[in-house]
Amino acid sequence: MGFIDGRNPSLPAIIATNDVTLSNPAHYIWTRQDQLLLNAILGSISPSRIPFIASAKIAHDAWTALANTYAKPSRGHIMHLNSVLSNVTRVTQTITKYMQHVKSIPDELAMLDVLENFEDLIVKILNGLGDEFKDISSAARARDFAISFEEFHEKLINFEAVLKQETARNQKLPITTNYATKPFTDSKHNTSTRFNTSARLQNKNPNCNKQAES
């Protein structure tokens, strides 16, 4: 914890021994350990929280920024997060982006020592999906067994893929329908029809026959 709480500060990069300036090997070791901790902090928080500590150069700075933001949560901030979570909607987002956004809110609440009930979270996710996902939403609400967030995410992704396939297929249907209903024309039949019509006209008009014989 010394790196995080500041009890183990950075060591000088250069040391002087007998009027000779040398690189400090202890500084290299300290920096390597500190950067491992900084990367661990960055990897353990939701993507939406990273901008708050993106400028941190050492683990202590990142930890301090998080502590100042979340260590003393206000009641208003917690109520705001709960309101956002209750009214979350997918709109035009992909399922993956939607789920990442939703998951970041209970993650932030957890950092404030406020835990969201998982079943309640699933219901809020379903409410925000929209009419396109009403079939899988009904199935999820009717289930009698627990499901993890990862499994639920995978099922939504698969359902989204099916919807995309159906949309692509429906976009091709008008072209196929028009082609199928287009009147069939037979060039031989048309030629025969024209010939028979011409013959009947000549038989009805004797003058035409006489002119043809002369």
Total residue length of the chain = 214
Question: Under 8 Å CB-to-CB from 163, ≥6 apart: which residues?
Answer: 132, 133
* Amino acid at residue number 32: R
Structure token pair of residue 194: 């024209």
Question: Under 8 Å CB-to-CB from 141, ≥6 apart: which residues?
Answer: 123, 126
Tens of pLDDT along the chain (214 residues) come to: 788 878 888 888 888 888 788 888 899 999 999 999 999 998 888 787 788 888 899 999 998 888 887 766 778 888 999 999 999 999 999 999 999 999 989 988 887 888 899 999 999 999 999 999 999 999 988 888 888 899 999 999 999 999 999 988 888 766 555 555 555 444 444 544 444 544 454 555 555 444 444 4
Cβ atoms of 37 and 63 closer than 8 Å: no
* Amino acid at residue number 135: D
